[in-house]
Structure 1
Amino acid sequence: MKFYSIAETKKILTYPVLVEALKQTIQAYDRGDIHCPERVTTMAPDRSSLLMVMPATSREILVTKILTICPDNAASERPVIQGQISCADAENGKMLFVLDAPTVTMLRTSALSMLAIELLAKQPIEKILIIGTGVQAVAHCEALAALYPDISVSIRGRSMERSRAFCQRLSSLPLRLQPDERDGSDFDVVITVTSSREVIYNEPALAGRLVIAVGAFRPEMIEIAPEIVRNSVVYVDDLIGAPSEAGDIIQAGLEWSKVQPLALALESKPLKDQPILFKSVGCAAWDLAACQVVYEFAGKR
Structure 2
Amino acid sequence: MTMQFFDADATTQLTPFPALVDALAQACLDAARGEIASPARLVVPLNRGGSMLSMPAAARDLAIHKLVTVCPVNRERALPTIHGHVSVCDPDTGEALLALDGPTVTGRRTAAVTLLAMRTFLRRVPREILLMGTGTQASHHVHALAAVYPGSRVLVRGRTVERARAFCAEHSGDLSMTPHAEAAIPESVDVVIALTTSREPVYDEVAKPGRLVVGVGAFTPEMAEIGARTLEGSALYVDDLEGARHEAGDFIQAGVDWARVQGLADALVRESGAIHGADEDGKPVVFKSVGCAAWDLAACRVARAVLG
User: Would the aligned equivalents of 1:217 and 1:246 in 2 still touch at CA under 8 Å?
Assistant: yes
Give the letter for the 1:270 counterpart: D
Once residues 234 and 246 of structure 2 are traced to their aligned partners in structure 1, the CA distance between those partners, rounded to angstroms, is 20
Q: What's the offset of the Cα at 1:122?
A: 4.8
Match of 1:197 in 2: 199
Once residues 176 and 48 of structure 2 are traced to their aligned partners in structure 1, the CA distance between those partners, rounded to angstroms, is 43
- For residues 29-48 of structure 1, the aligned pairs below 5 Å read 29-44=31-46, 47-48=48-49
| Counterparts in 2 of 1:124 and 1:17: CA distance versus 1, 3 Å | closer
Unaligned ranges ≥5, structure 2: 270-276
Stretches of 4+ aligned residues off by more than 6 angstroms: none
- For residues 277-288 of structure 1, the aligned pairs below 5 Å read 277-288=286-297
- For residues 1-301 of structure 1, the aligned pairs below 5 Å read 1-44=3-46, 47-173=48-174, 175-182=175-182, 183-186=184-187, 187-267=189-269, 269-298=278-307, 300=308
User: Would the aligned equivalents of 2:205 and 2:229 in 1 still touch at CA under 8 Å?
Assistant: no
SS in 2 for 1:47: helix
Give the letter for the 1:147 counterpart: V
Once residues 296 and 15 of structure 2 are traced to their aligned partners in structure 1, the CA distance between those partners, rounded to angstroms, is 11
Give the letter for the 1:260 counterpart: Q
User: Would the aligned equivalents of 1:233 and 1:277 in 2 still touch at CA under 8 Å?
Assistant: yes
**What per-residue deviation string (whole Å, max 9, x for no partner) do you get for residues 165-198 of structure 1?**
110111111x221011425411100000011111
Task: Give identity over the alignment, percent.
Answer: 44
Give the letter for the 1:214 counterpart: V
SS in 2 for 1:240: helix
**What per-residue deviation string (whole Å, max 9, x for no partner) do you get for residues 4-48 of structure 1?**
12111111211111011111111111111001011111213x631
SS in 1 for 2:131: strand
User: Would the aligned equivalents of 2:48 and 2:73 in 1 still touch at CA under 8 Å?
Assistant: no
Between 1:77-86 and 1:95-104, the stretch displaced more is 77-86
Between 1:175-184 and 1:215-224, the stretch displaced more is 175-184
Give the letter for the 1:276 counterpart: V
Between 1:28-37 and 1:182-191, the stretch displaced more is 182-191
TM normalised by structure 1 equals 0.96
**What per-residue deviation string (whole Å, max 9, x for no partner) do you get for residues 134-165 of structure 1?**
01111111111111112111000011111111
How many residue pairs were aligned?
297
Unaligned ranges ≥5, structure 1: none
SS in 2 for 1:165: helix
SS in 2 for 1:139: helix
Once residues 151 and 302 of structure 2 are traced to their aligned partners in structure 1, the CA distance between those partners, rounded to angstroms, is 27
SS in 1 for 2:43: strand
Give the letter for the 2:179 counterpart: P
Q: What's the offset of the Cα at 1:80?
A: 1.3
Once residues 266 and 223 of structure 1 are traced to their aligned partners in structure 2, the CA distance between those partners, rounded to angstroms, is 25
Between 1:260-269 and 1:134-143, the stretch displaced more is 260-269
Q: What's the offset of the Cα at 1:77?
A: 2.5
User: Would the aligned equivalents of 1:205 and 1:232 in 2 still touch at CA under 8 Å?
Assistant: yes
Q: What's the offset of the Cα at 1:264?
A: 1.4
Q: What's the offset of the Cα at 1:124?
A: 3.6
SS in 1 for 2:37: coil
TM normalised by structure 2 equals 0.93
Q: What's the offset of the Cα at 1:216?
A: 1.0
Once residues 249 and 202 of structure 1 are traced to their aligned partners in structure 2, the CA distance between those partners, rounded to angstroms, is 13
User: Would the aligned equivalents of 2:157 and 2:179 in 1 still touch at CA under 8 Å?
Assistant: yes
Give the letter for the 1:85 counterpart: V
Give the letter for the 1:121 counterpart: L
Aligned residues: CA RMSD: 1.3
Once residues 61 and 228 of structure 2 are traced to their aligned partners in structure 1, the CA distance between those partners, rounded to angstroms, is 41
| Counterparts in 2 of 1:272 and 1:177: CA distance versus 1, 3 Å | farther
